[in-house]
Structure 1
Amino acid sequence: MLWLKALHIIFVVTWFAGLFYLPRLFVYHAGLKPAEVADRERFKIMERRLFTMMTVGGVLAVLFGGATLGQAPGFLQTGWMHAKLTLVAGLIGYHVWCYRLLIAFKHDRNQRSERWFRGFNEVPTLFLFGIVILVVVKPF
């Protein structure tokens, strides 16, 4: 069980690294001037590669988390785990939203401002705080 938990944590870190950095790339991408075509193409490549890495991290985090729960099914009886899984579902939704934004940038159809992306970039921090507090403090 400790190996599963360790692998879960490693891939959660990998996933969050991508969730923190991809929206930051969107901030810079959205701030490009129309004439900066070469930079725009470079951002598209970086965003695609980062999204792939963070998707692998997210999938493995969920799989190893599920395997850990399979070894300790009693956690499913706790309120804090229900709250954590709800936040994880929200994080998956945020990940999918990042994909949709990535596709918009890929096809040069982004409609959002650099400023909007600065706010969007902060959302994973809220999820991280909530999840860590639930796991460590177990308030329910």
Structure 2
Amino acid sequence: MFDLLSTFYPWIKAFHIMSVISWMAGLFYLPRLFVYHTEQSTPGDSRDEVFQTMEYKLLRVIMNPAMVATWVFGLFLVMTPGIVDWSAVWPYTKIAGVLVLTWFHHWLGWRRKDFVAGKNTHTGRQHRMMNEVPTLAMVVIVLSVVVRF
């Protein structure tokens, strides 16, 4: 199994990167949709329905599969011999960043359900502020992997 992972390492890494890009795009865009949804519609109006459709499709069709693929290919990379030096700090800071992104993904899913129920309590400003979470986690992850401190 591990020899197979080493053989396909460049492919696994490429698919991991593509998955991360897709997931991050959604993590950046969905909170922005929530800002517009909060500021430009009221529960039950025609724009509310359009925003709900957009949010649902982004989360379920793009973000969820991208998150799963990111995790799967990332775990394959971790299991590939010689890739991760567990005596260094960087694997643990990367894991922390990925866990933050995963939590944030689920937080967005919970917020989407609030919109569906007509019970959104967050302001546009709060959604804008939460939109910084994936940026901060991305900085930690990229620095961890590239600088390998």
Shorter-chain TM range is over 0.9
Secondary structure of 1:31's partner? helix
Distance in 2 between residues matched to 1:130 and 1:14, nearest whole Å: 18
Distance verdict in 2 for CA 1:59–1:73, change over 3 Å = farther
Partner of residue 12, structure 1: 20
C-alpha contact (below 8 Å) 2:31/2:131 kept by paired residues: yes
Secondary structure of 2:121's partner? coil
Aligned length: 139
> Structure 1 length as normaliser, TM-score?
0.94
C-alpha contact (below 8 Å) 1:76/1:82 kept by paired residues: no
Aligned Cα RMSD in Å? 1.5
Partner of residue 72, structure 1: 81
Q: What is the identity, as a one-letter code, of the residue corresponding to 1:4?
A: I
Deviation at 1:22, TM superposition (A): 0.2
Overall identity of the aligned pairs, in %: 36
Q: What is the identity, as a one-letter code, of the residue corresponding to 1:29?
A: H
Query: Unmatched 5+ residue regions in structure 1?
Result: none
> Structure 2 length as normaliser, TM-score?
0.88
| Counterpart selection for 1:45 from 53, 57, 60 | 53
Query: Unmatched 5+ residue regions in structure 2?
Result: 1-8
Partner of residue 110, structure 2: 100
Structure 1's consecutive aligned runs of 4 or more residues displaced over 2 angstroms after TM superposition are: 32-36
Partner of residue 88, structure 1: 98
Partner of residue 34, structure 1: 42
C-alpha contact (below 8 Å) 2:41/2:48 kept by paired residues: no
